[in-house]
Structure 1
Amino acid sequence: MSRKFTVAKSPSEVVDYLRDFARAEEWDPGTVSCTRKDDGPVRVGSTWRNVSKFLGQETELTYELTKAGPDHLQFVGRNKTATSTDDIAIEPGSAPGTTEITYRAHIEFNGVAKLATPVAKVAMERLGDETEESLRRILGPVGVD
């Protein structure tokens, strides 16, 4: 799933907000709960316990911040049945004080769970629409892209 859209916050405000994955409770419609597992400043290597509902099932993944820069964040979540990667590119928008976000999410299923892949693709697209809508609402909508 991939979405590209613009919000009414500066790139640094967007990075500051999104780098704490516990906030997924606010913007990710599939997240039931998300709590930090470690202490201190959020940094590459920080981890979160994320409980999500996907395809009617609750699942728990441990997410790790694997890349963090002024223009890119990446979180990788793992459990025994799947690996989920959320990759977020951040760049200045065309208008002052705006940011263009390219949000990509990919789930790779392991073992027998691979049978769910075709159904998951459809569900991920729907979730992508809902996630974009949530992020636009929280970070400030900017017209229609």
Structure 2
Amino acid sequence: MPSVERVVVVPRPVEKVWDYLTDFTTTEEWDPPTVTTVRTSGDGGVGTTYRNVSSFLGHETEVEYRVIASVPHELFELTGSAAGVDLRDTLRFSEQDGVTTVRYRSELTPHGVGKLASPVVKGGLELLANQVAQKIEERLLLL
């Protein structure tokens, strides 16, 4: 199961960082492969669903995400499914003296034919994780 984790630290209050990143429609601003993200149901809490269209390794994919955990200012977790892969994105938040740390972990579980692309996906995922962390930091510094 390919996975990546990155840590972003910004001098911003956790409330602002939480509000921004847990409105998953903002992925259009900080997740480079995201083309669009639309909330399809819910209020942003557990059970909320999003439809995300992303371009990864030259292929456009639609993912249906569902929020499975939401502990304000601490934990936000979503799972998603796309053709050939299951996804889990976990964001953990902590704050000390007005500085917020975000730990962003993304896991992909390929199935079926998707398993054949695992080595290629892992390399692409590492590169993408660096780009995502940089964009998250840039956007959070604008808050």
TM-score above 0.5, yes or no? yes
Which letter maps to 1:123? G
Count of aligned pairs between the two proteins: 138
1:20 pairs with one of 18, 23, 35: 23
Structure 1, gaps ≥5 residues long: none
- Alpha-carbon distance between aligned partners in 2 of 1:129 and 1:62, rounded to the nearest angstrom: 23
Counterpart residue number, 2:118: 117
Q: Deviations over 1:34-74 (max 9, x none)?
A: 111015x2110000110011111000010111111120111
Map Cα deviations across residues 66-112 of structure 1 (whole Å, 9 max, x no partner).
1111201111111241111111110014xx22101111111111101
- TM-score calculated relative to the size of structure 1: 0.90
What is the alpha-carbon distance in structure 2 between the residues aligned to residue 14 and residue 83 of structure 1? Answer: 26
| Cα RMSD for the two superposed structures | 1.3
Write out aligned runs for 1:1-145 (5 A).
Answer: 1-39=4-42, 41-69=43-71, 70-93=73-96, 96-140=97-141
SS of structure 2 residue aligned to 1:37: strand
Please give the TM-score of this superposition, normalised by the length of structure 2: 0.91
Alignment partners' CA distance in 1, 2:129 and 2:69: 21
Runs of 4+ in 1 over 4 A off after TM superposition: none
Counterpart code for 2:40: K
Cα distance between partner residues in 1 of 2:21 and 2:67: 11
| Distance in 1 (alpha carbons) for counterparts of 2:134 and 2:126 | 13
- How big is the shift at 1:10? 1.2
Q: Which has the higher strand share?
A: 2
1:19, CA displacement in angstroms?
1.1
Identical positions, percent: 34
Q: Indicate if the aligned counterparts of 2:8 and 2:136 stay in contact, CA closer than 8 A.
A: no
